[in-house]
Amino acid sequence: MKRFSFLLIALVVLCAAVAPARAQSQTTPEYVILVGGPSLMRWEKYKGSNAHDFWWANFVRAGRIRTEQLRERHGPDAKITWLVYKRGYVERAAQEKKDLIGFIDSVRDKFNLNLVYFDKGSEVIDYLNNGQPRDRVKIAFFEFFGHSNKACFMFDYSNGLDSASKSWLHESELTKIRRSNFTRNANIRSWGCHTGESMSKKWHAAVGNRMWGAVGKTQYMTHELPVLSSPNGKWVN
């Protein structure tokens, strides 16, 4: 009788251990791309070689390149989400005299994306926490394309204000993001400038996954992902 009881207890413990692993294997991965807004020429035209965003689509183009790679690697049904700072493209559209929101919507349609527009950093946090049923959909990939300094993502840098930002995600807010939103080996990267100098460390401490970020500046390209542009720049996590 004692032997039977021991075997029964062992079986219960084994089942309890297997259940979480099975649940983990049944989760759906989500690939999230965060896209900041471009600056405006009314602020940047006097800065010479230091001016930003002569091309409005710097960040959108980089996000599209990455999306093409994800589709090729993970297939047509992979869950890819774009979080886009809408106001930045509405403001830049007036300068360009083009329907930039319509263009972004066309990228959504071409690549079968879940496109979510936002205005504030708190909305980004809310999506990461609650935008999907996080017990079943885990973030396996998160990348940022936009302006940044060492402490924050600046979604509207030099858009509403000259060389400043009113919409951001600051490293002090990262503790509001739930660790359980992400897969254990999630690929996290910021393609903005200077993230690797502080924010990458704060991300790791707050969220658990490591974030690749640049020490120094980055340069956005037309036909490839951004590259390091500072003489002693490097990627760190």
pLDDT digits (tens, 9 = 90+) for 54-64: 789 999 999 99
**pTM assigned to the model:** 0.87
* pLDDT confidence tier of residue 43, bands split at 50, 70 and 90: low
- Mean of the per-residue pLDDT values for the chain? 88
Is the pLDDT at 10 greater than 70, yes or no?
no
pLDDT grade for 222, boundaries at 50, 70 and 90: very high
* Among the ranges given (13-27, 116-130, 155-169), the one the predictor scored with the smallest mean pLDDT: 13-27
**CATH class entry, domain 26-236:** alpha beta
For residue 78, pLDDT beyond 70: yes
Burial classification of residue 160, based on how many CB atoms lie within 10 Å of its CB (0-12 exposed, 13-18 middle, 19 or more buried): middle
CA distances from 219 to 70, 101, 158, 180, 192 (A): 22, 24, 17, 33, 8
Instruction: Give the model's pLDDT for residue 25.
Output: 60
C-alpha–C-alpha distance, residues 5 and 8, integer Å = 5
Q: What percentage of the chain exceeds 70 in pLDDT?
A: 84
Compute the average pLDDT of residues 105-118. 98
Is the pLDDT assigned to residue 8 strictly greater than 60? Answer: no
Q: Could you tell me if 138 and 90 are in contact, meaning their C-beta atoms sit under 8 angstroms apart?
A: no
Q: What is the SS3 string spanning 110-128?
A: HHCCEEEEECCHHHHHHHH
Rounded distance, CA 160 to CA 3, Å?
A: 74
Section 61-88 average pLDDT: 97
